[in-house]
Amino acid sequence: MSNYIVVTGAAGFIGSNLVRALNARGVNRIIAVDNLTRADKFKNLVDCEIADYLDKEDFINRIQHGHFEGEIGAILHEGACSNTMETDGRYMMENNYRYSVILLDWCLEQEVPFLYASSAATYGMSQIFREKRKHEAPLNVYGYSKFLFDQIVRQRLPNASSQVAGFRYFNVYGPQEAHKGRMASVAFHHFQQFRETGKVQLFEGSHSYANGAQMRDFVHVDDVAKVNLFFLDHPKRSGIFNLGTGKAQTFNDVAVTTVNSCRAMAGEAPPLTLAEIVRQRLLEYVPFPEALKGKYQAYTCADISRLRSAGYDASFASVEEGVARYVKWLWLQA
């Protein structure tokens, strides 16, 4: 593709992994767009090849003044505030919703493929994770910002003359997420906890689940990048798609894999069972936070039938595979 590919949120977690995945297939004509108010995110792009970097506000101003007409081959829109605990609704809607609408409308006008990040947060407390309006009930303003933009996409799609594909990311984990702080994945925090204290922490039982038995659909960021590039390669395929593994696993599974992977990297063997890890006090259960009551998804599992119907047939890494690979990467970075 001779035109530029724009990646928004390029210095972030998923954005930087998309840039890296594009580089791996020889694509370097990339315009990286982000807001580096938090300057430490630049580190995520140090090993990447890009053609240019633009601040988010500068990029919006330029496209609205016709600077890139005929020069952009696709926009991969990952830029968003992903803090589910953010309480500034005005900021969230401006940053996540309005920004996305501006880019969507520009892409439709220019007939440029538009791939964007939605979120499983659109489902809220639902136990059915299928891409239909009746299953969507976000619990926080982050989820609402993603939900509302999905509704706009649904309105635009019937008359769209170019690709629009949204991906409802489930619990993504993997390299380049350290800057996310408390919003980084459980696997990241478990690694840090184990290296610093020799044990990891999980919430006690809640929502009728036993200690650490709450379940999420944990998906490795490499798989997220593969799905995005699949759609980039198939510009006739549009819609809103769940992007998870299609399998829910417990937080205990993440803890066990992290502990055993750290022990293996340190030359300690054999692997321990959950019961042995608890008995040796390598895993500690802490009270469920009051601040999360009524705002917590204790179970998520992507229905990926629509993704499969679109032709994506590759397998997804399990927690045991993906977290082990991630812990090895973290260990070598430490």
Q: What pLDDT band is residue 1 in, cutting at 50, 70 and 90? A: very low
> Can you spell out the DSSP letters for 238-260?
-EEEEES-S--EEHHHHHHHHHH
Which is more confidently placed, 269 or 270? 270
pLDDT value at 247 more than 70: yes
Going by C-alpha positions, the residue among 172, 121, 165, 125 that lies closest to residue 142 is: 121
Q: What per-residue confidence (pLDDT) applies to 90?
A: 73
Residues 88, 51: Cα–Cα separation, whole Å = 34
pLDDT average, residue stretch 263-267: 96
145-204: per-residue pLDDT in tens? 999 999 999 999 999 999 999 999 999 999 999 999 999 999 999 999 999 999 999 999
Instruction: Report the SS3 class of residue 45.
Output: helix
CA–CA separation, 212 and 263 (whole Å): 20
Q: For 68-119, write each residue's pLDDT tens digit.
A: 999 999 999 998 765 555 566 676 777 789 999 999 999 999 999 999 999 9
Tokens representing residue 144 in the block: 């609402």
pLDDT, residue 81, reads 64
213: phi then psi, degrees, rounded to nearest 5:
-95, 0
Helices marked H in the chain: 13-24, 56-64, 89-92, 99-110, 141-156, 186-197, 221-233, 251-265, 274-279, 305-309, 319-333
Question: Any idea which residues carry the catalytic annotation?
Answer: 142, 180
Residues 6+ apart with CB under 8 A from 157: 164, 238, 239
Q: What is the C-alpha separation between 36 and 41, in angstroms, rounded?
A: 7
**Structure confidence at residue 5 (pLDDT):** 98
**pLDDT, tens only, 315-327:** 999 999 999 999 9
pLDDT tier, 139 (very low <50, low <70, confident <90, very high otherwise):
confident
pTM, full prediction? 0.95
Q: What's the mean per-residue pLDDT of the chain?
A: 94
Question: Is 131's pLDDT higher than 60?
Answer: yes
